[in-house]
A and B are shown apart, each in its own frame.
Chain A
Amino acid sequence: MTNESSFLLGRLGWDALPFWDMIQNPTRESIINGIIASGAAGMVVLGALAAMALITWYGKWKVLWCDWLTSVDHKKIGIMFIVIALLMLLRAVIEAAFMRAQQAFGLGGGFLSPEHYGQLFTTHGTIMIFFMAMPFLTGLINFVMPLQIGARDLAFPVLNSVSFGLTAAGAALMMISLVLAPFSTGGWTGYPPFTELQANPGPGVDYWIWGVTLSTLSSTFSGINFAVTIYKKRAPGMTLMRMPLFCWTALCTSILMIFGMPPLTVATGLLALDRYLDFHMFTADLGGNMMNYINLFWAFGHPEVYILILPAFGVFSEVFSTFSGKRLYGYTALVIATMAIAVLSFTVWLHHFFTMGQSAHINAVFGIATMLIGIPTGVKIFDWMLTMYRGRVRLTVPMVYAVGFLILFSIGGLSGIILATPSIDYQIHNSLFLVAHFHNMLIPGLLFGMLAGYTYWFSKAFGFQLDARWGYRAAWSWIVGFMLAFFPLYALGLLGMPRRTVAFFDPVYLPWTIAAGLGALIILYAIVCLMAQLWVSIKRRAALATPGGDPWDGRSLEWDTPSPVPEYNFPVLPQVNSHDAFYRQKCDGAPHESPARYEPIIMPRNTAMGVIIGVSGTAVGFGLTWHMWWLALAFTGVALIAMIARGFVRNTTWTLDAEAIERQQRAWAHQLEQFEPITRQWEQSEANRGVPVPPKEGAIQ
């Protein structure tokens, strides 16, 4: 950051480059940190260049633009969301490995500077929540939910593309901040007054504010889109209580997004006013009140926890039911429990700051409210176990994640009950016990769910299964790696080690930090397995193909389509008569029934709106961060003009003619007859072409 500000570049100067400090003041510390930061920046730049070179080499720019970036198809947008999530997961896991390494060597110093370590835990948290978890679950809901309720698309396909553009813009800012540094050191929560101008005049906090704000807007719009879709676009006969549980969790998550995201918009917006226009909302002087920020932040932050976890609960419900070959046990209880969790999630935010000086009575109320959430969650755990009870359980890859989740998540929940007691919280808040607790909830609870969903629905998206062998390796490495990396943190917390510290001086911590470091290595191996799985599966895609569309003997409507799914989803909208609609069709011996007559289908046209808003969002965020006012202003104008111009467009749909649909459907029906139906024991083998042996007397074969 230069002191003098130029019109063109704002406060962006040479010192933003990650190796600048190491050249100017070469000390041992600055050189080590400079090399790590420059390596990361180099990977971003080389990765972007390599991607562009590959696209040019294979001549795929047109495909990228026409079939993906401008597409409004919910399936493609969902896939793009998940691509962002996986890329960001890779980055944030590498950051986590550096943090664990620092603590393993941290007795008396370690190798990272406090500044660098601060940036690592801030970007790790920000990315994992806003650019890994949120895009992952948004992507899964995007892809799966319309198929499960028998719809052609979301209610607002163009808005969906805009949501994606906004998330991509936030993720782009996060990646740019590696090259043109620094990022914030204020943690993913960005508490003032540390993040105010007086303590942090540099661009770091501004990167954080705009990255997070873009993601928040994206999630608000996605929430509205999902909720309206579920309320308005269900297939005939698909009553709310016949919806697969994943759709219920999607609905609850959407409602939480609609009401839970605005507090964060307010918090980051007011913090921006403080930093840019010299307001005093949260400053330590002139009547500012930082407690307001903390209240606002957690009024978002707690619902956010359930935004993250509910869709994973939905995935697990589908996985347990499908791979036990049984109807979900206690469906109604699960629906009520999901709704109860969604409502209770708004009543507990204060437990994130028990120690900040409110009266003991208030703490008691929020402590009790927090413990109440354990009840509906417990109901769910028992329902899932009873779904497996006397079922034909197959321990496939998604099932390994699910069973791992069941046990580990219960342990994490118990540590949550401990933390919910204010008097205990006074002892262990801000310690590694807390870090262990929330990783214990979010890795099994969220990430395992997302990875299970990724494995479960992958063939629906691309037409071939993921390789099971590498899948098992990844799943077990995640489980073991997680336990080794985070269970020691409980002990460290109880021993009094505070979170977010770059170094420690008490040798009693050392064995535990080394164990946690080894756990991080196993998690890195799990990531390598996931990459190998993808690589191997793409190589063997012909052998692993499941064009029949039903590789798991599925129960809900998404399995009633070919894999990959045609862009119109269903040739005619399905008529639903019961829960587990597709399984019922198979029991009745009439799956994939073809209609008497095919009708033309009206489809939404591609649009560049998402790209325009995404590029504008990136440019505005970047301009504001570096005080390039002309850039921010110009691209605000571009976004406004694009939105107004979009209002003038009338030619927004095109018609897919009935013959084309009929041809496709007949070809698929013909293909289905060629395949040998398989029993469940060949499920993860190459014999699986996506056609199961039909159920006998309601039992899977």
Chain B
Amino acid sequence: MTTHTAGASTRHPGLNLGEPHEEAHSANEELVFGFWVFMMSDFIIFGLLFATYVTMLGGTAGGPGPSDLLEMKGAFIETMLLLASSFTFGMASLSLKYHQGTAKLIGWLVVTLLLGLGFIAHELKDFHTMFSEGGYPSRSGYLSAFFSLVPLHGLHVAGACLWMLAIFGQMAVHGIDTQVKTGLTRLAILWHFLDIVWIVIFSLVYLGGLT
């Protein structure tokens, strides 16, 4: 096992727990790097689905297209929910870094979780509306592409929420120990990553589809 801890200059982005967390830092070194690599791999999946989506734009087969089904209001609310959740997760990370107390940390995380769940609920409502307007995946190639891309992001958000609940459980059992800290560091990376993916979805699918 490596005994040296990484100097501040060689640390990875995302390793921002700060000086008094040395043990968590050395444990984080490989974990966080590995998680970044995993994110890269996941990003390829989204990238390919984006490319596929663009090639399928014309495949509406006489059914509803983007301008018939998508609406800006819902997408805007979802964007705001997700951006706000990224901000609140950032606050949670800061309260962990500066030892601002368990209550504050959990408070910010709970707010983040609620925003994430709100996003999922709102997205499901949007899908429901689309279905009722004849926008379901078996209707056309275009809608298949839409429903293979956007819900996959939603599924990731749901997974991230589940992970957060699991970390709450770990906190209840073990307190805020090294594993909880490293878990939160990685969950934060996933959470912000999903924000970035959503921004691309918003620009490409919603803005692109409605202009």
Contact = CB atoms under 8 A, between A and B. Distances in A.
B189 to A, nearest CB: 14
Contact of B167 (A281, A285, A640, A647): A647
10 contacts: A223-B41, A262-B48, A266-B49, A270-B52, A278-B137, A287-B60, A288-B141, A640-B162, A644-B169, A650-B174
Contacts of B166: 644, 647
Contacts of B37: 224, 227-228, 258
Contacts of B59: 280, 286-289
A262 B140 contact: no
B128 interface: no
Given A266-B48, A281-B144, A602-B1, A220 B170 contact: no
Contact of A224 (B34, B147, B177): B34
A644 to B, nearest CB: 5
A296 interface: yes
A288 B141 CA distance: 5
Contacts of A426: none
Interface string B1-38: 11000000000000000000000000001100110011
A38 to B, nearest CB: 39
Contacts of B167: 647
Contacts of A601: 1
Given A602-B1, A640-B162, 10 more contacts: A228-B37, A232-B29, A258-B37, A274-B144, A279-B138, A280-B139, A281-B52, A289-B59, A296-B52, A647-B166
A579 interface: no
B41 A224 contact: yes
Contacts of A232: 29-30, 33
Interface in A214-233: 220, 223-225, 227-228, 231-233
Most B CB within 10 A of own CB, among A224, A274, A280: A280
A232 to B, nearest CB: 5
A270 B55 contact: no
Give the bracket for the number of chain B residues in contact with chain A: 35 or more
Interface of A: 152, 155-156, 220, 223-225, 227-228, 231-233, 258-259, 261-263, 265-266, 269-270, 273-274, 277-281, 283, 285-289, 292, 296, 299, 601-602, 640, 644, 647-648, 650
B38 A292 contact: no
A224 B141 contact: no
B183 A152 contact: no
Given A266-B48, A287-B60, A602-B1, A273 B30 contact: no
A287 B34 contact: no
Contact of A231 (B33, B40, B143): B33
A281 B34 contact: no
A651 to B, nearest CB: 11
Contact of B138 (A259, A280, A650): A280
B121 interface: no
B98 to A, nearest CB: 25
B144 A259 contact: no
A163 B44 CA distance: 20
A228 B12 CA distance: 13
Given A287-B140, A292-B52, A273 B148 contact: yes
Contacts of B142: 287
A227 B34 CA distance: 8
Given A224-B41, A287-B60, A280 B34 contact: no
A156 B41 contact: no
